Structure 1
Amino acid sequence: MKAIILAGGKSSRMGQDKASMILGGKTLIQHIIDNLSFVFDEIFISGNHSNYPISKGIIKDVTTQKGPMGGIRSALEFCQEDIFVCSCDMPFVSSDLIENILQKKVEYRINVVRFGEKIYPVVGIYPFSILNDLKKTIENGNLRMTSFLEQQNAHYIDFEDSFEHQLLNINTPENFKTAEKIIKSKLK
């Protein structure tokens, strides 16, 4: 299984490219590459920028402006196998959390993280077998990840409080400030 970092978004709420923001001395995307490399031999970046750090390579979007679903579609088409995805704005996803997902996965189903009532569709496993359904959903203009997960009978992997900070999505300047506090507390 290959790991895919989803980095094709507009970063509109942040106002700048999130993946390239510096947190604790390195870019957000480098944090994720480092964490994924403990578990996966091959890590690709799904997005349309070419200035990202070295990974296995950049997977360009097949169709642009389709959000995470477009990135997952492009990655599945490129890899031709099941993939593990993680968003570029989640630098605290650890190898422990990733291993936990891999151990609890249900074969041939989408497996994503859930914490309490919140679903994290951009952290988990997408099987190659969903590619045709994903294409049709995108072509029909339905880009809501949660709707697609329901349609596909996704398997939700529940995590307890000890993993909560690992699921921080850095979407806004306020989220970034929270991430800086987490990094500072780890360095103490």
Structure 2
Amino acid sequence: MNGFVLAGGRSTRMGRDKALLPYAGRPLIAHAVDLLKMAGVEPHIVGARPDLAAYAPVIEDLHPGCGPLGGIEAALAASSSELNLFLPVDLPLLPAAFLRYLLQRAEISGADATMPTWGGGPEPLCAIYCRDLLAGIRESLASGNYKVMHAVENAVRPSEVDLFSVEAVAATRDDWPLDPPLRRWFQNLNTPAELALVS
């Protein structure tokens, strides 16, 4: 299975490049790539970022300026695997154990999209997408709809999307780490203040 770090954002709220921000002594991109490796998938980086090729192979967007959906399109178009794991570059507190669970769940369910929810809301940038979604995603891009959740819902039948609550699953497992606490796993680092909370 292939894994893709979404690293093509402009980091406007952060004020500087997020992918190379230091976290625990290393750039965020290095943490994200290592998370994919620990989950057992082949890591790649999506975005117009040839400067990140030292960390993993880089796949450039086919349609720049379309946000994360453009990156997902490029990744699915380039992927050699049916199932593909996506991870944003700015979730350094997410444990590899959760990604391994996500992979196992996708393989068992056979759903076209396997997506966690946190606090009642979906996390479409940390999900597994089947390569068959590519045609529907391209239709959304062509229509100017760049919202990932909308594109996924338009690309497949509702029965083919496996949405599950992270909180509910965590309550049944004793192999997920408690440090950091579950409430911080999906803490995006979009601003300097958010970075300071995890530094």
Identical amino acids, percent of aligned pairs? 26
Single out whichever of 113-122 and 130-139 deviates more from structure 2.
Answer: 113-122
> After the TM superposition, which residues 18-57 of structure 1 pair with which residues of structure 2 at under 5 Å, given as runs?
18-52=18-52, 54-57=54-57
Q: Equivalent residue for 1:63?
A: 63
Determine if the alignment matches structure 1 residue 156 to structure 2 residue 175: no
SS at match of 1:148: helix
The AA in structure 2 aligned to 1:109 is D
Deviation at 1:113, TM superposition (A): 1.4
Root-mean-square deviation over aligned CA pairs: 1.6
Instruction: Kindly provide the CA deviation profile for residues 26-74 of structure 1, in whole angstroms up to 9, marking residues without a partner as x.
Output: 0111111112111224100001011226344000110101111100000
Q: Equivalent residue for 1:135?
A: 138
Equivalent pairs counted in the alignment come to 180
Deviation at 1:168, TM superposition (A): 1.0
Is residue 8–residue 67 contact of structure 1 (8 Å, CA) maintained in 2? Answer: yes
Unaligned runs of 5+ in 1: 181-188
TM-score norm. by structure 1 comes to 0.89
Is residue 9–residue 68 contact of structure 1 (8 Å, CA) maintained in 2? Answer: yes
Correspondent of 1:146 among 136, 144, 149 = 149
Determine if the alignment matches structure 1 residue 5 to structure 2 residue 5: yes
* CA distance in structure 2 between the partners assigned to 1:104 and 1:142 by the alignment: 28
Is residue 32–residue 93 contact of structure 1 (8 Å, CA) maintained in 2? Answer: no
Q: Equivalent residue for 1:184?
A: none
Single out whichever of 141-150 and 93-102 deviates more from structure 2.
Answer: 141-150
Give the 4+ runs in structure 1 shifted more than 6 A. none
Is residue 2–residue 40 contact of structure 1 (8 Å, CA) maintained in 2? Answer: no
The AA in structure 2 aligned to 1:148 is A
